[in-house]
Structure 1
Amino acid sequence: MISVPVRRVLIIEDCVEDALLLGLAFEDHAPEVHVEAVSDAESGLICCQSSEPPQLVVLDLHLPRQTGMEILSELRVQVPLPLRVVCWSSHAHPAEVQAVLEHGAVAYLEKPREITGFGRLVHTLLTL
């Protein structure tokens, strides 16, 4: 897959605080990137199928109604564009990490435990 510069990021995350902190970190460290956050899979799929889809999706693995694995599978089937998906979680088991990588995620990253970690996360996301 040819790497496309990241100009649009979609965060699929049910924790408002985590989505907000990551969005603010993008504002500080990559203000040219447009960031949108949604809290459920249905909204995420709609965003990815829009006329201006994201190049990168940051997907929480543990959402209330669907698992990150289920959403990742839906994205792979329903979104024909080259789409980089990075899964993130504050707690994941090694088997789960391996499974999301096998299902097409480009990376698994742990959520930062400190606010300063969100800036480092933005730099990591933009270099994947």
Structure 2
Amino acid sequence: MDTAHSEKKRILIIEDDTDECDLMAEHFSRYFRISGFVDNYDELMHLIQPEQPPQLILTSLNLPRKNGLEILQELKSNKNLQQIPVIIMSVSFPDFLKTQAMQMGASACVDKPELYSNYATFCKDIYNLTMQ
């Protein structure tokens, strides 16, 4: 189910695992127009184009320097970026952190697949979340 290029939402992904980035690039490209991959907040801020910001930011919870919750807090306190939906993902995502993320303004908190073979389903599930 490929979506027409112009209809695809622009997604920016913050992930520091290159293998996962490769899998996401492969599977997310069916549903989204990938604006890029970065592995930290500073790179994110350099990559965001003010005239065409991403329509979705997907961030890993566990990252070097600022973690996903800190990135969420930065984005939600920036008046130019606070309307962008942010989905936080993690392999190990305790309920108390999911609750905290949702209270901070995350659009969703999702569990990353433990097996690479489950990435196709994971990416489709993220797409379905954004269409609700």
Common fold by TM > 0.5: yes
Partner in structure 2 of residue 85 of structure 1: 86
Structure 1 position 114 matched with structure 2 position 111: no
The 3-state SS of whatever aligns with 2:77 is helix
Q: How far, CA to CA, are the matches of 1:36 and 1:89 in structure 2?
A: 19
Hey, what's the Cα distance between the residues in 1 that align with 2:50 and 2:123?
23
Determine if contact 2:68/2:88 at 8 Å carries over to the other structure.
Answer: yes
* Root mean square deviation, CA, Å: 1.8
Percent identity of equivalent pairs: 27
The amino acid of 2:36's aligned partner reads E
| Structure 1 runs not aligned, ≥5 long | none
Aligned residues: 122
Segments of structure 2 that go 5 or more residues without pairing to the other structure are 1-6
Is 1:36 equivalent to 2:71 in the alignment? Answer: no
Change (3 A) 1:35 1:121: farther
Q: CA deviation at 1:114?
A: 2.2
Match of 1:22 in 2: 24
**Hey, what does 1:55 align to over in structure 2?**
55
SS of 1:78's partner is coil
Greater RCO, 1 or 2 (C-alpha within 8 Å, sep 6+): 1
State the TM-score, normalized to the length of structure 1.
Answer: 0.84
Alpha-carbon shift at residue 79 of structure 1 (Å): 4.9
Q: Is the 8 A contact 1:55 1:83 kept in 2?
A: yes
The aligned amino acid for 2:24 is L
Q: What is the distance in 1 between the residues matched to 2:8 and 2:40? A: 22
